[in-house]
Amino acid sequence: MKNTNQLTLEQQFKITIYISKINKLNRKNTKKYLASMLKKMMIKDNIIKYSIKNTIN
């Protein structure tokens, strides 16, 4: 698995769409969007950690 840090074509496409949407936002909405994305990423991390912890036990 030497390409584990590479994005798939689908992920690259999604990033392009997100960048397009972000570029249309004003500064205030961009900050809100960023905070929302960070929260979602933290929740995702918690779910992954929980899953790994419970798989090991």
In a domain, 1, yes or no: no
Nearest to 53 by CA among 43, 40, 38, 45: 45
pLDDT of residue 56: 80
In a domain, 34, yes or no: yes
Domain that holds residue 32: 9-56
Residue 33: exposure state from Cβ atoms within 10 A (0-12, 13-18, ≥19): middle
In a domain, 32, yes or no: yes
pLDDT of residue 17: 95
In a domain, 48, yes or no: yes
In a domain, 2, yes or no: no
pLDDT of residue 3: 65
Tell me the mean pLDDT in the region 19-37: 93
Counting the structural domains of the chain, the total is: 1
In a domain, 4, yes or no: no
**Distances, alpha carbon 4 to alpha carbons 1, 8, 52, in Å:** 6, 10, 18
In a domain, 3, yes or no: no
In a domain, 41, yes or no: yes
